[in-house]
């Protein structure tokens, strides 16, 4: 049985982490099921926006400590054996590099590796009664892998305090730190997510994919290279069928053909 449930409605694919008994920990199976769901979503032209959410009171508790502990014992007894572990870097990379937008609907607590999962979304919205935390140091490890996705979103002083203290903090603080976009009362969570999804559906699919490229690549380029690349990209988009339709729809005061 898959640990990720999926539901497609009007171009929006909702993926629900469904291993509440294990606090939606990033086990080998959950990560594998999530990667499989991402493959299917990206290959399906009907899918325009993906929403990641959870069953139970925990969005994601990070690494599956039972599996990690068992793997450590196995490695100690047989150092030559390959260490099996959930591929979190691959998972975060898939969200970041996906041509389609990802929205996090965080309806449960989010700690350790779960922080990376929340930060890997293009836009994350949390219920204001949930807790966050980089709790790795308190079990003798480090938030090393998730630092790659979290540090670019955080002020250096804030990151140093949060990573080293390992304390838990509320959703409003997670938003202040830049790890999520906003925290709202639980009763408003679905309405806020629906508004974000509606905005995303109004963007052209090719334009959304190109904009994700811009967000990922421009910060890593020097000024001259970024200017040349974005000028070529912009010219190509203005000449595209989607660009021409979008401009026509604007001038004719109607919705573009891609708006549901």
Beta pairing partners, 170: 131
Going from the C-alpha of 197 to that of each of 14, 35, 211, 244, the distances in angstroms are 11, 22, 16, 23
User: What's the rounded Cα separation, in Å, for the pair 178 and 118?
Assistant: 11
**Catalytic site residue from 55, 136, 242, 245:** 136
Q: CB atoms < 10 A from the CB of 46, how many?
A: 10
Helices (H) and strands (E) in the chain, counts: 11, 10
CA 254 to chain CA mean position, Å: 32
Q: CB atoms < 10 A from the CB of 148, how many?
A: 17
User: What's the rounded Cα separation, in Å, for the pair 12 and 239?
Assistant: 28
Going from the C-alpha of 82 to that of each of 76, 85, 145, 165, the distances in angstroms are 11, 10, 19, 32
Our answer to whether residue 192 is catalytic in this structure is no
Buried b (16+ CB within 10 A) or exposed e, 162-190: bbeebeebebebbbebebbbebbeeeebe
Please identify every residue annotated as catalytic.
Answer: 136
């Amino acid at each position: 049985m898959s640990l990720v449930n999926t539901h497609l409605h009007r171009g929006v694919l909702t993926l629900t982490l469904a291993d509440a008994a294990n606090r939606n920990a990033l086990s080998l199976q959950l990560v594998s099921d999530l990667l499989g769901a991402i493959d299917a979503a990206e290959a399906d032209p009907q899918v325009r926006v993906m929403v990641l959410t959870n069953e139970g009171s925990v969005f994601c508790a990070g690494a599956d400590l039972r599996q990690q502990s068992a793997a450590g014992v196995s490695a100690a007894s047989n150092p030559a054996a390959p260490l099996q572990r959930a591929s979190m870097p691959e998972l975060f990379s898939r969200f970041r590099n996906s041509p389609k937008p990802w929205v996090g609907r965080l309806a449960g607590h989010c700690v350790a590796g779960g922080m990376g999962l929340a930060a890997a979304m293009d836009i994350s919205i949390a219920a204001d009664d949930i807790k966050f935390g980089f709790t790795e140091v308190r079990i003798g490890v480090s938030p090393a892998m998730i630092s790659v996705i979290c540090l670019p979103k955080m002020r250096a002083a804030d990151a140093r305090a949060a990573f080293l203290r390992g304390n838990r903090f509320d959703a409003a603080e997670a938003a202040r730190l830049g790890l999520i976009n906003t925290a709202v009362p639980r009763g408003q969570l679905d309405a806020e997510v629906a508004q974000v999804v509606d905005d995303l559906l109004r963007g052209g699919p090719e334009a959304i994919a190109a904009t994700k490229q811009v967000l990922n690549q421009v910060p890593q380029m020097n000024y001259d290279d970024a200017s040349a690349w974005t000028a070529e990209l912009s010219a190509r988009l203005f000449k595209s069928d989607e660009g021409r339709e979008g401009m026509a729809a604007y001038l004719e005061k109607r919705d573009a053909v891609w708006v549901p």
